[in-house]
Structure 1
Amino acid sequence: MSAPATTVVGTATPAHAHPLWRRWLFTREAAIIALLVIVIVYALATVRNFGSPLTLTYLLRDTAPILLIALPMTLVIVTEEIDLSVASILGLSSVLTGVLTQAGAPFPLAALVAIVAGAVCGVVNGFLVTVVGLPSLAVTIGTLALFRGIAVGLLGTTAITEFPEEWTDLAKALIPGTPIPVIMIPFAILAIVFAVLLHFTPFGRALYAIGLSKEAAHFSGIDVAKTKFTLFVLSGAVSGFAGVYFTLLYSNARGDNATGMELQIIAAVLLGGVSIFGGRGALHGVIAGVLLIGTLGSALRLAGVSGEVINIITGVLLILSVVSAAVLAWARGRRIALIGRRRLRTARAAGSASKPLQ
């Protein structure tokens, strides 16, 4: 008599064990988007002037540098690295833009030099992290001070406020017929590029693999060092571009421009669902996180709340996002372990049932 057929235990991974709609809706990114919608609706109903087109214009203008830098920062943190020097690179590119413009250089050339200088700063970070082998936290704390020191050294305590009017007007311009600033066009293009890169290419899958385990990624054929180096260069270049925009928007080049902005960027990225431990995150959640912090701050300022209270609320949101991520990861691990034990018991029971009687 032939042996009975062996029962095959399902091998679907927990991440794909549910329908697609459930995997999209029951995520941290969806929760942040829902919270953003709730804050907007509540502010429209209770905060005076929040619904005016001018409020939206200033909100998008002010958050544009954070939105821009958050794009490469997401990729960096997904690989379990961090770049704390981005605001200092922004400040340095701002100073270079001002100094070169004041010296008589055409503004497009000054802007290009500032962006290239940002990329060079990224090269410095990438070299120290990937070639020398230093931890990115320590490296970028050091270069944060280094790049800021160079910026202040170039300009001192003075400020440059004279820039070509056609360029400052462009930085403040709106898309015709809308209250949306023109800067949202290059942001949208970059967001699409980074989203495709992260979510729909082998390069993006390599980033998640590195974040989960750089040793396993290395043995699977991924050039971990080259990949991380590329991310730091991208981070520096985008920070340089943000510095040019920041300078034109406020018509002000100073060595201390954007001091402390790196904390706002990292807070928004983590709030948007990116794990500080790497291997997890999505760009749509990050964009929602930036807009949530910006919208909340805008509504509270219009309601007369002080900046100190707004900072406290932002800090509480960040702590809650990190704690909730840790709790969800723990619960997910427990659930996966429980499913594994159940499948193991099922397989053993099926094996015992298939043994012939002695």
Structure 2
Amino acid sequence: MTMAPPPRPIPPRHIPDRLNGSFLRRLKSWETLLLAVAAAIFTFNALASPYFLDPWNLSDATFNFTEKAMIALAMALLIIAGEIDLSVGAIIALASVAMGAARQMGVETTGLVLIGAGVGLACGAFNGFLVAGLGLPSIVATIGTMSLFRGIAYIILGDGAYGGYPASFAWFGQGYVWGAITFELALLAVLAVVYGVLLHGTNFGRRIYAIGNNATAAAFSGVRVRRIRMTLFMLTGLMAGIASVCLTSRLGSTRPSIGMGMELEVITMVVLGGVAITGGSGTILGVMLAALIMGLITFGLGLLNVPGVVMSIFVGILLISVIALPKLLEKMRR
């Protein structure tokens, strides 16, 4: 009895270099899509309003996203690691109230900046202690601290307001470093480079990705998961404190309602930028492009006299859509 010869292996399918090259991968990337969307929105705004292309109007448009984008940089790292911070808006309020109270005692600009950043850092450390130290789920812990920090701000200030900030303090939120380029935009650009190098060019960034993909495996590989989580929460709190300095400086006054709802827009920027809400993937470039898109949309709607509540509705729909779209595409593929 003769045995049948084994079947010949099917040769691998050859994919031409022009279809398998890095250019096509970049073309298909989420960041490329965001860049195309940003260009389309920019063109639409330019055609819809004759005032849009004015350099000083474009400069004013950056105020719609710079403070939120600063927080989004740190939030992106936190979400890539599989965590989240819903208290950033309340941290802004508490840091602003602390700066206002200090100003009533005669503290000058340098002290105010240090107090704002320091309060943000302390709030982030407290969040990190709850999550990394006590092992609480980050979404539950930060919902609690969101109410806690905002409540403290209301207890200190009530329905009143703080003002009377020194003229030099206003430069952080209203000053220009060169031509129509604001200090906030310049600071955001520097921070984006720093966070980009930190996430994509260091061992610390690779460990963040490892934690987001599988925290248990990362811990067995020698990654100090708790320490990195603590550091990320502290960075997020610090960025919220810096954003509070810029926002308070730009507004020139403090109310306990400052920063209300900002956490939703920050998370929307991060998720729209391609960061997986479940952790493990994402880029700083995508987050910055998403921030630019949201800023252009907000400014464009403002030029067209669209009510602010429409932007809130849009942000909610955008957040749901970006999270749901991958799920729907996966179901269709199956």
Counterpart position of 2:4: none
Letter in 2 for 1:97: M
**Bigger CA drift: 181-190 or 261-270?**
181-190
> Which has the larger displacement, 274-283 or 44-53?
44-53
**Structure 1 residue 311 displacement after superposition:** 2.3
Match of 2:113 among 111, 114, 120: 111
Does 2:270 match 1:269? yes
User: 1:285-324 alignment to 2 at 5 Å?
Assistant: 285-324=286-325
1:89 to 88, 91, 94: 91
Deviation of 1:135 (Å): 0.2
| 1:197 corresponds to | 198
Q: Distance in 1 between matches of 2:186 and 2:178?
A: 12
Which has the higher mean CA deviation after the structures are superposed, 54-63 or 129-138? 54-63
Deviates more, 1:270-279 or 1:168-177: 168-177
What amino acid sits opposite 1:69 in the alignment?
Answer: I
Alignment of 1:58-207 (within 5 A): 58-177=60-179, 179-207=180-208
Q: Find the counterpart in structure 2 of residue 244 from structure 1.
A: 245
Cα distance in 2, alignment partners of residues 329 and 174 from structure 1:
46
CA contact (8 A) 2:93 2:150 kept: yes
* Counterpart code for 2:294: I
Deviations 1:214-258 (A, max 9, x none): 111111111111111100001111111111111110101121111
Listed as ranges, the gaps of 5+ residues in structure 1 are 1-6, 11-16, 335-358
Contact residue 123 and residue 233 of structure 1 kept, 8 A:
yes
Aligned letter for 1:323? A
**Is the CA contact 2:95–2:120 (under 8 Å) kept in the aligned structure 1?**
yes
Paired residues in the alignment total 321
Look up the equivalent residue of 1:83 and give its one-letter code: D
State the partner residue of 1:44: 46
Q: Percent identity?
A: 37
* Residues 329/185 of structure 1: CA separation in 2 closer, same or farther (3 Å cut): farther
RMSD of aligned Cα (Å): 2.1
Whether the aligned pair in 2 keeps the contact of 1:127 and 1:229 (CA below 8 Å) is yes
Compared CA separation, residues 111 and 125, structure 1 to 2 (3 A): same
Distance 1:292 1:183 in 2: 17
Give the superposition deviation at 1:89. 0.6
What secondary structure is seen at the aligned counterpart in 2 of 1:183? helix
Change (3 A) 1:192 1:328: farther
Partner-residue secondary structure (3-state), 2:177: coil
Q: Gaps (5+ residues) in structure 2?
A: 1-8, 13-18
Distance in 2 (CA, whole Å) between partners of 1:176 and 1:223 is: 42
2:64–2:299 Cα contact (<8 Å) kept: no
Range with bigger deviation, 312-321 or 251-260: 312-321
